[in-house]
Structure 1
């Protein structure tokens, strides 16, 4: 990777890290903050779901905008929007202001992730693509690790302090990116995107892409996110019922998984993808998750839970970067932002419905069943991926895609 590209990737790493620190900072605080303003459990659920719902619809729109206008201005809009939304959170005095801040944050800050991934695609060749996506995943993972700890500390000072801190971080990164981040998309590529997608906002691609050659990858992204969210939404209740865990044990378990995933994504994912290809790494992630969900049911103490979580994190670390890398390699240069936004939409859709399904299964059938159900979903996707990846390999030809028995740089 050239020196200029390395600098750009480093800036993007910092951007994603700070953004996820900002998200993580509010996670331990927001439920209590909203509760003090009269929020019910349903209100809290809606408050958390609002961002994912908006992101589902708007991530491809921002991706399309970055194809037409360039990556840098869209990233800046997302960072500034992120900052403004958290400033409103900190100043909020009533529940409606929290929802207004969450909606504004969803509309504007949903620009950051798909555009950042498209920037990585612009500045890496196929050999370095998976590694670049992995580095962004590591930045997100590290932000999620450090954010809640910082938020808990600042929340002791003042309930609104974590929100002001997140707003200041985002604004600082925006100023830094404005000064030093180069534009990755050439004017010629932007003109081509404007010409080829003159009547498309990117929104319809959420639905039309399902009928295209990347349809299975989008379904895979949704189902994997959906099944993972079964764990995220119910794991605290499962661990309490199964092993009597409290907050301290839960924090340690998720920290272990976060550290393992961040290190794997930052140091190993690129090498794994270059050696075995995106398809195989996706299958490794699916298999590790399917087995891990079942193994949770036979854990008996904190070390056993941490061991299963670490093993899942190691296998799962390549799943999302591999999906993003595969989609990027199968997409024309002037559609990178749009299609990576569509992938992000289906990840968001899984995060909307996964916790709801997990909670219902937990309440109706018992604490073991969300994990049995999640494992079945992962095994189902794995079986379909083995059949489809081995039977048909997708190869781009000009602006169209065809099925071929040979893979373009996947193995």
Structure 2
């Protein structure tokens, strides 16, 4: 068990990959618009990879020693990824100078954690970024409350097996991929001059409505449609937030800002399930969707207020 726990801790290092990719994209792209288009494509590829991973993993796991084969496949994937990283162009970036004084491993790790906390706190309360980070935190908390509760709702209230839940998630991810593939065209048609607030306002309201539908419906078909709506709305929300972040961030601080922005997801991954479990225990599982809808509504009002300033 200790070996498994250690491996899980080591795997956390993989969470920095998305931040590094985003920073590399902003270094290589000539404009914010080009960066936004690349981010949309990266999101589509992430959705496809997630989709393919669910399907392939579920089939491999059915074989004898299937879990072992799945981990071997993951190792092969990591080796290929290391080779692909070597092909990335080298970009000189202005980093923060670090003290060359030797420090212990634990002390160094604690300093890094403290640095992340200070950077995140500074950005959340700054006049330049407070609205983006606050909306992002509300959205991620609400989303992970939904994510933590939807599977349990399907199992306990709709008697759906794990196998069919996996197929359903796969289908919803296909919808998400489709949204990302048409994102650029939809933005140019419906939001040609929008910095991101209008799209964010519309998307958060749509997601709030989807959460309320999840809380109130007893129909499996309507529940599934609401899950698909959540997936689509979240795709538009992520795009709008990225566009806003790109329009605000200075070149000298983009590394700190982007990494801190991604750290908000980790905060949501902790707070969301914690809130969902607490609320579900007291008021029932469907109540977590209502709390998520409240978070979305607050985020939408912040976006609308900033839009009309």
**Alignment TM class, shorter chain as reference:** 0.7 to 0.9
CA displacement 1:107-128 (0-9 Å, x = unmatched): x323211111112222331222
Residue 182 of structure 1 pairs with residue 89 of structure 2 = yes
Alignment match, 1:227: 142
Matched, 1:110 2:15: yes
Deviations 1:250-276 (CA, angstroms, capped at 9, x unpaired): 223322221111121133246517624
Match of 2:123 among 196, 209, 222: 209
Call closer, same or farther: CA 1:129–1:344 in 2, change over 3 Å.
Answer: same
CA deviations on 1:194-234 (whole Å, 9 max, x unpaired) are 46x88996523122112211122112111111101111111
Aligned to 1:173: 81
The worse-fitting range, judged by mean Cα deviation, of 267-276 and 355-364 is: 267-276
Partners of 2:171 and 2:219 in 1: CA distance: 15
The partner residue of 1:272 within 187, 203, 218 is 187
Which of 293, 297, 306 pairs up with 2:215?
Answer: 297
Q: How does 1:1-400 map to 2 (within 5 A)?
A: 95-106=1-12, 108-124=13-29, 125-155=31-61, 156-158=63-65, 159-178=67-86, 180-183=87-90, 185=91, 187=92, 190=93, 192-194=94-96, 203=116, 204-212=118-126, 213-269=128-184, 271-272=186-187, 275=192, 276-391=194-309
The two structures have a TM-score, normalised by structure 2, of 0.85
Deviation >4 Å, runs of 4+? 197-202
> Could you tell me how far apart the structure 1 residues matched to 2:76 and 2:174 are?
25
Q: Alpha-carbon deviation of 1:245?
A: 2.5
Q: Alpha carbons of 1:270 and 1:325: their partners in 2 closer, same or farther (altered >3 Å)?
A: farther
Higher RCO by CA contacts (8 Å cutoff, separation 6 or greater): 2
Contiguous gaps of at least 5 residues in structure 2? 101-110
Change (3 A) 1:123 1:283: farther
RMSD across aligned C-alpha pairs, in angstroms?
2.3
Partner of 1:318, secondary structure, is helix
Distance in 1, Cα, partners of 2:255 & 2:59: 37
Q: CA deviation at 1:247?
A: 2.1
**CA 1:382 to 1:359, structure 2 compared with 1: closer, same or farther past 3 Å?**
same
CA distance in 2 between partners of 1:251 and 1:136 (Å): 23
SS at match of 2:196: helix
8 Å CA contact 1:128–1:270 kept in 2: the answer is: no
Q: Deviations over 1:329-376 (max 9, x none)?
A: 211223222211101111110111101111121121112201111111
TM normalised by structure 1 equals: 0.65
Kept in 2: contact 1:269–1:317 (CA 8 A): no
Deviates more, 1:345-354 or 1:234-243: 234-243
Distance 1:135 1:281 in 2: 18
CA contact (8 A) 1:324 1:340 kept: no
Structure 1: give runs of 5+ residues left out of the alignment. Answer: 1-94, 392-411
- In structure 2, relative to structure 1, the CA distance for the partners of 1:239 and 1:366 (3 Å cut) is same
